[in-house]
């Protein structure tokens, strides 16, 4: 691959409508193989539109993680891969309108009841954030309260395992730096995923990417690479809540403690 890693699947990108139509069967077959882990010609492995949504959001999320964890020279390729997967997914949404309905239903269910927020329903929050950004019905601000509640609830187990606080129902302000450190990588990834979606998924992005055959402009790539450095430097909750725009509700250490305690209750 462009990053020097082995690969076992080939997936054509979206260049334009004509190119997609010529390669649509190959693209759909490739997605089916990735999803099913098999190239057998069985009818149960035939392409279904929902598979494109699952596979491409997963690939976008993996590109994001690779970008976050990689060296700077790798990050440009990871951003380009993210944008290529995004453009291909957006075209599938255009030609299969049920995908948009699936996304909106998923977001709607997540908002309506807590039982629709667990890992069985939403296995990966990073992938779900991509779907929210792609929704034509919902804005992130409408759902962020529930996202942050579930996100923090999923962190609790890891914080408990690291034993940084004896009793999470009795947190003191002096405990906050240790709690943040225990979940720092996860916190960084949340900020990163939010900013990745905000930077590259917006109204008009299809036309924007189509001008360069799916490649993002170099100045946008370079700007995001610099932002990545700043995200990785976040080392306290006060910076984190500003980065994820929670500072309108969490304004003091005590408010942060209350939020963590409520997350413990949700996780139980």
Query: With 80 as the cut, is the pLDDT of residue 244 above it?
Result: yes
Please write the tens of the pLDDT for every residue from 140-183: 999 999 999 999 999 998 898 888 898 999 999 999 999 999 99
- Tell me how far apart the alpha carbons of residues 121 and 223 are, in angstroms, rounded to a whole number: 35
The Cα–Cα gap between 186 and 65 comes to 11
Q: Given this model, what pLDDT does residue 268 score?
A: 78
| E strand map for 190-258 | none
CA dihedral 114, 115, 117, 119 (to 10 degrees): 150
Q: Choose the weakest-confidence range: 2-6, 29-33, 83-87.
A: 2-6
* pLDDT over threshold 70, residue 71: no
Give the Cα separation of 253 and 258 in Å (integer).
Answer: 9
- Angle at which helices 98-112 and 125-134 pack, to 10 degrees? 120
The tens digit of pLDDT for each residue in 185-208 reads 999 999 999 999 999 999 899 999
- Residue 231 is inside which H or E element, if any? helix 218-232
pTM listed for this prediction: 0.91
More confident call, 46 vs 241: 241
Q: What is the pLDDT at residue 246?
A: 94
pLDDT of residue 65: 85
Mean pLDDT of the chain: 91
Q: What is the pLDDT of residue 182?
A: 93
* Each residue's pLDDT tens digit, 12-28: 999 999 999 999 999 99
* pLDDT tens-digit readout, 86-130: 999 999 999 999 999 999 999 999 999 999 999 999 999 999 999
- Taking CB atoms within 8 Å and a gap of at least 24, the contacts of 57-65 are 57/89, 57/127, 57/130, 57/131, 58/124, 58/127, 59/34, 59/85, 60/85, 60/86, 60/89, 60/127, 60/130, 61/124, 61/126, 61/127, 61/130, 61/193, 64/126, 64/192, 64/193, 64/196, 65/126, 65/189
């Amino acid at each position: 691959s462009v990053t020097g890693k082995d690969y076992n699947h080939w997936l054509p990108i979206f260049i334009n409508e004509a190119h997609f139509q010529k390669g649509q069967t190959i693209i759909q077959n490739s997605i089916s193989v990735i999803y099913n882990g098999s190239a057998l010609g069985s009818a149960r492995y035939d392409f279904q539109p929902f598979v494109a949504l699952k596979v491409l959001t997963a690939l976008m999320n993996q590109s994001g993680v690779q970008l976050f964890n990689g060296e700077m020279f790798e990050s440009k390729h990871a951003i380009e891969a993210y944008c290529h997967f995004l453009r291909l997914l957006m075209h599938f949404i255009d030609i299969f309108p049920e995908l948009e309905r699936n996304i909106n239903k998923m977001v709607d269910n997540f908002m309506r009841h807590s039982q629709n927020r667990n890992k069985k329903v939403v296995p990966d929050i990073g992938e779900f954030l991509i779907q929210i950004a792609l929704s034509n019905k919902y804005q992130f601000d409408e759902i962020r309260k529930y996202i942050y509640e579930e996100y923090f609830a999923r962190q609790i187990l890891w914080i408990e395992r690291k034993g940084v606080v004896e009793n999470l129902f009795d947190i003191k302000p002096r405990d906050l730096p240790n709690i943040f450190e225990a979940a720092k990588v996860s916190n960084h990834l949340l900020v990163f995923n939010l900013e990745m979606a905000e930077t590259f998924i917006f109204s008009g992005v299809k036309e924007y990417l189509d001008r360069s055959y799916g490649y993002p402009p170099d100045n946008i790539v370079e700007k995001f690479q610099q932002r990545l450095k700043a995200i990785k430097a976040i080392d306290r909750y006060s910076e984190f809540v500003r980065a994820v725009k929670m500072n309108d509700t969490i304004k003091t250490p005590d408010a942060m403690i209350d939020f963590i305690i409520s997350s413990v209750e949700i996780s139980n």
